[in-house]
Amino acid sequence: MTHISETEIASPAILYQDEYIVVVNKPAGLLVHPSWISPANAPNLIKWLKQQFPGDTFHTIHRLDRATSGVIVFVRNDKLAAQQMHQQFLDRRVSKTYLCVVRGWSNAEGTIDYPLSQRKDHYADPHARDEKPPQEAVTHYRTLAHVELPIPVGRYPVARYSLVEVKPETGRKHQIRRHMKHILHPLVGDTKHGEGRHNRLFREHFNLRRLLLMATELRFDHPVELKQVHVHAEPDDVVKCLFEALGWHNLEKLHQEPDLRT
């Protein structure tokens, strides 16, 4: 099998900017904010932004997990613009698109409507309160491609995986990861909600040690100007190399014509 070379955390890239907002392509493995569970000098996206725009204040509107790569938007300086952007997310007027690789052959498309509890994590947050009642959580997905690898996993002689486009309607913590696990298609590389045997397969056969979840698109109304902003991020070179090895050669074509041959 092809081995993919993973290096240190890549640099972020600015996808869109104006005087009010900046949209960044966050690499996998980079924190958005400083965290007490990481070394004090660990790199983070906010620190990087302040280096790019000295003197600016950045308002966080939404989050990406450290392990997730892709599109994330910040508001620069303007509190009213930040409130407007935050309200868009609350009102579900922001379109978010992700790509992920999951275990098994998922259905062509579907909607996961499954409430999620806010789980306390005293390691990550020592002040976390007890779990709250489950909150509404809705995820739409569409399968773009299947692949079967001639590698035994457990009692199965082959390993099957799917490339899935996901559009979360709500924004609960680890929503995509937990919802895909709920329908028995956990994400590859997910050490918390995934399956160790399949994570190990990708480490041993592809030298890949990361969560295969990428935020690829954001569409939202500009918080000040009368226009819509649409920002797209291609998967990074490591993911592209993996997709090539799995036979997923043309992402644009797969989005238009999914390849679900069995």
Q: How far is Cα 106 from Cα 98, in angstroms, rounded to an integer? A: 16
Is 259 annotated as catalytic?
no
Reference 205, options 155, 253, 147, 164; nearest CA is 147
Beta strands per DSSP E along 62-178: 69-76, 95-103, 109-113, 138-149, 159-168
Using an 8 Å Cβ cutoff, are 88 and 122 in contact? Answer: no
Q: How open is the CA angle 124-177-247, to the nearest 5 degrees?
A: 130
Catalytic residue among 65, 91, 130, 237: 65
Q: How far is Cα 120 from Cα 161, in angstroms, rounded to an integer? A: 31
Catalytic residues: 65
